Structure 1
């Protein structure tokens, strides 16, 4: 299967380099039988010679060896590869190897996937790799000029949300959408800068399920949503009925559900059609943004994205109320006072079509999340800020520190270190304090963190997606008198070793180490100098007297920390939402530069 898009000046198809980088970084984290070499094999063409050498990867089941050229080797673990890739039979000549051929070979390599899995799930995996690569190629071709211009200070909040064209930087299928057609991808995906009106339903009270987190009645909450949109406000509803916004793609799924048909036949549900303002999918695809609305909307979508099918579960929906209650408690207020740069994008309410037995129809869930951003605010989702530029050029973060260096008349490396130091104080400190002194645990990965800039430097961090938040046992006991239902948080209880693993991956490997890798790949900083600065920050934080320093000690003292195994999760078709144990078992050790830079 070949990508059929016109090649840019480099001779590569659009998006090919980004897809290869995400695939190879995911593979090399989880499969240790490779070696880094300083020079390409002598029989390979001269264009495969790169300053950082490359990686030799044997495929013994096929009697083959791969040569993966390196444009940048990252001490923080996310490398930049160069194309073309090369393949050789044992003792034979080298030839070029495309990504889909590589994916097919890997999926059938018993040494990597195991004898039981070879050729068993491989075709689904290869199909997802192909679909992702084609989606990414289409998106880069469509958005190339915008990607090149994506930079502070001209870019605003929405530009960054819809600028995540390359998706997860360490994943074999960063842009696969199993149930979407090619037309659906273009119509509903942020990487195509799509926008659309919502479908609206009118429901009798008995046909609506709802939950809130601050006591406001569902009718009042939805009235506020409607009042923000003049076109909606002009639509009359029967007395006592409530409006429900539905993602237009998800409406197809709902129409065939028995509960939907039940209320429709009973005369308790009416379709109002596509109405009102245009909404924009954000980097998370199922979360929608409209600049003049007081809320963002997070919908259930019956689509598999990266590692899970994105249908919200009742326990996930309920967590928004628990997080809001925790922050309104005396303990939460003390945390907010202690960490003034941390802002939580609370989920104020959730709605769904009711099942006949009174429960929620999960496929119809919609969450109302705080919207603190104007369209032009310089507040950027971290995944886009750290994304590579097109065809290996510097991304947003590299261009940002270069602009700061020019403005301030200092070397780029100095500007990068100053920026990184501010990032540690503004964005990392609150999560470490919350964990160590308050027992609040956040899955603060790159798509859950929005970094607000003031004059180019980090000034505030916004955390979103309460589904990935929980609390220590001691904290749950403190909150019981203040937060009804907080006992449910015990369903997500972790040992210290599990906390180290999960927070080490989400907050550190996926987030902070990606910042270091992005600055290194842009040629803006020495990565080990940034790791040393981070070590100094952690030592100073510990010296302040943390109540529970175990996680900080782990970061300082562990030669290796753990990373989620996205490659094998994808290859084995694990759904993280319903099979969390499969995700937990996937974790693999990666080198910890914080430890290795110790004096």
Structure 2
């Protein structure tokens, strides 16, 4: 409830913060919230990450001295400030909070058992030994880091553990925090109703006959379906498309998979370099943030990938340091629940599994012969940024474990390498007019060793929701820009730097860098001023490299990010749950903003 109250203050939901008055008491600062039934007092403290203040506790105090506690007590009291037309959204958010709490309790009860099975269950050894360490390597080991990350709260959205519409048994069976394995269901659809290139599918892709439907081999194509969709809303989706007569759901489940941090994306057990992104009839990070897959987003992901490949081709330093998942292969039948994305990760060449352990694992540098030039994931630790502040099975932070393995235990050195590459890449993209939604779940750190030295790379996926200043892109690329702007969602293309800078600030700065700095400081790993100073220094260096770039890109980033008094902040609760789009004015629930203090500005 402290996180919920802090989010409502940050977004000034229903004017709670701007209508509040400050109050100083013996135990610290308070806010006097003005509610229709009388004032309520909220204890607050200084924060600085996206808002000047945060709730000090998860309780409210009434004028008579009694306290409102818990979801029902606190949100029941705040509900009196909600306009009648906004009550459905507020009540839905209250339900999210209840489910988030239930999920958190379930996770707390199971975490020790689940985490105890990670790593060694794939490699056959105990954590801290050579065999167990190898189990954390490559795309297979990345799934274990995804599981660790799933126990972390979202940096901004307070009810991020809620998955609306799913029951406890379904969450246990399919959510990444429980590391389950399961088999997919398959739907045979007539070829003429499926968009996509069957020739591009993996060689193991089943024919209908492999699924027990041999008479359909010549006329139908198999589409993977998540069990949660097959057992629920699939029939309605087929009716909506008029396919209930021609489609056939195979009775035989086929293809063992395991969920990634995204949950709707699953990794193929026998082909770990291939993931399948499948629509789910649920919502996360807000009731309006549905987990279906509009066919247009599949097109946008492929276009975004080509755009990034064009940038990499013009900057050789990124060819060895930025890895892009291949998201060009996809199928759909014209419905949000009838779609599949085939995501392929780079395999590269060479590589040595032993590199995963760093210099202290399996003969150190001697085991790395042939690794130089490898562009894949073999032998590397592949860690989503969302997992860096999570805890390993031995209780250490993932970031500390990586620093120990690759940087001699120097956390600052690891963070410096990460921030240098992260900010160099994203400021370069900004010079082209591009900002990615590559948040802490879509960006992974890839660490291995080359000739005895640590090598840090970035792995990016889900490039279907960027902001692109088409004017700036055309100024840099000329006529080539037109071929790289074929996005289905026209909201992606804008005509100025402002919307692009907003995504740069809210995703790259806040979620991939600032949130990590504040969390590491909270956990006592380093002083916050030191971490923020490091972040500002690396960002300033990256921006300085843009001096002379077309369109004064460096000047824009200095004015709008480095030296701005305030920065945009995602209003995720307001846009995603509390208000309808008509009431909030949000055209995109993931790109609707308020503002907060710039913790990077000089003198902060």
Tell me which interval the TM-score lies in, with the shorter structure as reference length: 0.7 to 0.9
Deviation for aligned residue 1:269: 3.0
Local SS of the residue matching 1:460 = strand
Matched, 1:542 2:551: no
Matched, 1:595 2:597: no
Local SS of the residue matching 1:365 = strand
Distance across 2 between alignment mates of 1:343 and 1:35: 50
Matched, 1:141 2:122: no
**Map of 1:302 onto structure 2:** 281
Distance across 2 between alignment mates of 1:189 and 1:421: 33
Distance across 2 between alignment mates of 1:484 and 1:532: 40
CA RMSD for the aligned pairs?
Answer: 3.9
Distance across 1 between alignment mates of 2:49 and 2:473: 33
**Map of 2:198 onto structure 1:** 219
Distance across 2 between alignment mates of 1:37 and 1:336: 57
Distance across 2 between alignment mates of 1:225 and 1:579: 46
8 A contact 1:161–1:190 mirrored in 2: yes
Deviation for aligned residue 1:465: 0.7
Equivalence map 1:317-356=2 (5 Å): 317-329=298-310, 331-335=311-315, 337-338=317-318, 340-353=320-333
Local SS of the residue matching 1:305 = coil
Local SS of the residue matching 1:244 = strand
Equivalence map 1:82-93=2 (5 Å): 85-90=58-63, 92-93=64-65
**Map of 1:459 onto structure 2:** 456
8 A contact 2:146–2:383 mirrored in 1: yes
- Larger CA deviation: 74-83 vs 21-30: 74-83
Distance across 1 between alignment mates of 2:177 and 2:169: 13
Distance across 2 between alignment mates of 1:488 and 1:204: 27
2:417 maps to which of 406, 419, 422: 422
Change (3 A) 1:254 1:146: closer
Equivalence map 1:439-518=2 (5 Å): 439-454=433-448, 459-473=456-470, 474-475=472-473, 478=477, 481=480, 484=483, 486-488=485-487, 491-494=491-494, 495-518=496-519
Q: Unpaired runs of 5+ in structure 2?
A: 120-126, 348-376
8 A contact 2:325–2:461 mirrored in 1: yes
Deviation for aligned residue 1:508: 0.9
Change (3 A) 1:484 1:176: same
Change (3 A) 1:544 1:304: closer
**Map of 1:188 onto structure 2:** 174
Change (3 A) 1:232 1:324: farther
Matched, 1:255 2:235: yes
**Map of 2:363 onto structure 1:** none
- Larger CA deviation: 510-519 vs 22-31: 22-31
8 A contact 1:197–1:274 mirrored in 2: no
Local SS of the residue matching 2:61 = strand
Local SS of the residue matching 2:435 = strand
Deviation for aligned residue 1:520: 0.4
Distance across 2 between alignment mates of 1:79 and 1:404: 37
Change (3 A) 1:385 1:35: farther
1:161 maps to which of 146, 152, 158: 146
2:97 maps to which of 115, 124, 129: 129
Q: How many aligned positions are there?
A: 531
Distance across 2 between alignment mates of 1:226 and 1:398: 40
Deviations 1:472-529 (A, max 9, x none): 3142573755875734475422322222222211111122101111210111111122
Matched, 1:173 2:159: yes
Local SS of the residue matching 2:332 = strand
Deviation for aligned residue 1:347: 0.7
8 A contact 1:76–1:516 mirrored in 2: no
Deviation for aligned residue 1:258: 4.5
Change (3 A) 1:512 1:36: farther
8 A contact 2:435–2:501 mirrored in 1: no
Q: Unpaired runs of 5+ in structure 1?
A: 1-19, 43-53, 211-217, 354-359, 410-414
Deviations 1:263-322 (A, max 9, x none): 452xx4332234333211211121111243242111122212113112222321111221
Change (3 A) 1:396 1:74: farther
Deviations 1:372-415 (A, max 9, x none): 4879852111122235899xx975336655x579x847xxxxx3
Distance across 2 between alignment mates of 1:165 and 1:79: 27
Deviations 1:167-202 (A, max 9, x none): 423213212222212222222221222321110122
Distance across 1 between alignment mates of 2:443 and 2:239: 36
Distance across 2 between alignment mates of 1:94 and 1:559: 39
8 A contact 2:22–2:29 mirrored in 1: yes
**Map of 2:259 onto structure 1:** 281
